Amino acid sequence: MRAAIGSSVVVLAALLAASCASATDSVPSSPSPSGRQAVLAPIDRLDVRVLESSPPQYMVSVQAGLPGGCAEKNRHAAERVGEAIKVTVLNWMPTGSRPCTMIYGSYDLNINVGSDFRSGIRYSVTVNDKTTAFVAQ
Output phi, psi for 46, to 5 deg.
-145, 125
d(CA 123, CA 137): 11
The domain total for the chain is 1
Q: Is residue 13 predicted with pLDDT exceeding 50?
A: no
pLDDT per residue over 38-54, tens digit each? Answer: 999 999 999 999 999 99
Q: With respect to residue 7, please indicate whether it lies within any of the assigned structural domains.
A: no
Region 4-15 average pLDDT: 40
Output phi, psi for 19, to 5 deg.
-70, -35
**pLDDT number for residue 8:** 42
Which structural domain, as residue segments, surrounds residue 60? 36-135
Q: With respect to residue 1, please indicate whether it lies within any of the assigned structural domains.
A: no
Region 3-11 average pLDDT: 42
Burial category of 107 from C-beta neighbours within 10 Å (exposed 0-12, middle 13-18, buried 19 and up): middle
Q: Is residue 37 predicted with pLDDT exceeding 70?
A: yes
What is the pTM for the complete model shown? 0.73
d(CA 46, CA 130): 7
